[in-house]
Amino acid sequence: MSKTTVKKTTRPVKKTYSSPFSTYWVKENYYLLILGAVILIAGFFVMSLGKWDNPVSLVVSPILLVIGYLVVLPAAIFFRKKQTSKKADNVPGQS
């Protein structure tokens, strides 16, 4: 009686790489990004209207650009939906 050795064959597993932003960027992020681009385009368009001392281009345009650059575009980047957990919904004594 001789011992027989069984040789195990293993296949190398291919690693799949996925983008960390694939679950982060959802439809609402893209809507906010497009809204920010539209606000910026409107701000630059209003800036180009009239002469250099036009009050619309001196007042309204900077307000639109500040809203676009400092509010809407960061909101598009940092917006994330809150995920609700089923465990937290079923905890008694908490409303």
* Each residue's pLDDT expressed in tens, for the chain with a length of 95 residues: 677 777 777 878 888 887 776 677 889 999 999 999 999 999 999 999 989 899 989 999 999 999 999 999 999 999 887 776 665 555 555 55
Alpha-carbon dihedral of residues 24, 28, 34, 40, nearest 10 degrees? -90
Checking 20-25 for CB contacts under 8 A at 24+ apart, the result is 24/80
Sign for the CA dihedral angle at 17, 20, 24, 30 comes to negative
The closest of 49, 34, 42 to 66, measured between CA atoms, is 42
